[in-house]
Structure 1
């Protein structure tokens, strides 16, 4: 069985004071470092289609409007090893051109280099989906990849 594209190609994380977030064409992943020994009862997490809120041990970690919309009933959070909260959000717009530049509107933004690397990765992921017989996980991309890269849909196969 072959691994998913993001498992083979790695992730492009956007580091924050509380952890990091990264994305694929379909999902946004949030990893929050919490004090060792944190229990699920000490975590309050609200995942909406346009907003998110996370409190741990009564302290607000983040709260605000998401960069773009998500499918709220497909969002999940888990507490791993009592020290890491993992949140998975399903993007509503699952096109390669929908590369989030920040987690929240105006907060936790990717710097220019990280944003560029995220867009490159989403473009390669799109190419992988369009060409399932090829492995793009170690590929490099240059040229016009902003907005999901060139559109080849008009070409005949």
Structure 2
């Protein structure tokens, strides 16, 4: 069984252009860019629930985000001229809102990746709700979709 520690990293969903992942608070899309790409060559926008990213005139991402978001809390950055990172804030930050895909009908997580995403978010939520407890050796086991997690410590 995989361990789910808040500091252990993220559960990525691979895409043709890179990957996306989520935390309790955010959805993050990472687009692999041609080395040397400058921020001025990128147009990235979140309007309502519509997300678009165009790099050097080529549309990379275009669609309706799969969950509810805070449209005023949207950020994109170019890192080392080779990575576009798009950060979208979820409107439900309770840890109970696990997205199955980045955009409606696009870039879905396969069942195993989605199950791991749900487990990761559940562990983050439980750690947030119980800040004094040590969850370093905790695991979530069993069929998560079948009524919730079982805890092994």
**TM-score, structure 1 length as denominator?**
0.85
Closer, same or farther in 2 for the Cα pair 1:60/1:117, shift >3 Å?
same
Question: Is this contact kept in 1: 2:5–2:135, CA < 8 A?
Answer: no
Closer, same or farther in 2 for the Cα pair 1:137/1:79, shift >3 Å?
farther
2:118 maps to 1:89 = no
Q: Match of 1:115, SS?
A: helix
Structure 2 match to 1:75: 74
Query: Which structure shows the bigger proportion of residues in strand conformation?
Result: 2
Question: Is this contact kept in 2: 1:95–1:148, CA < 8 A?
Answer: no
Alpha-carbon displacement from aligned partner over 1:98-154 (angstroms, at most 9, x marks no partner):
10000000100000000000000011111101110123355310246449947xxxx
Pairwise CA RMSD of aligned residues?
A: 2.1
Instruction: Output the CA distance in 1 between the equivalents of 2:20 and 2:147.
Output: 20
Pairs aligned (count): 146
Structure 1 match to 2:111: 112
Query: Which structure shows the bigger proportion of residues in helix conformation?
Result: 1
Q: Match of 1:114, SS?
A: helix
Greater displacement, 7-16 / 114-123: 7-16
Unaligned segments of structure 2, at least 5 residues: none
Structure 1 match to 2:49: 50
Structure 1 match to 2:63: 64
Q: Match of 2:7, SS?
A: helix
Unaligned segments of structure 1, at least 5 residues: 151-157
Closer, same or farther in 2 for the Cα pair 1:90/1:49, shift >3 Å?
farther
Structure 1 match to 2:126: 127
Question: Is this contact kept in 2: 1:97–1:146, CA < 8 A?
Answer: no
Tell me which of the two structures has the higher relative contact order, counting C-alpha pairs closer than 8 angstroms and 6 or more residues apart.
2
Structure 2 match to 1:101: 100
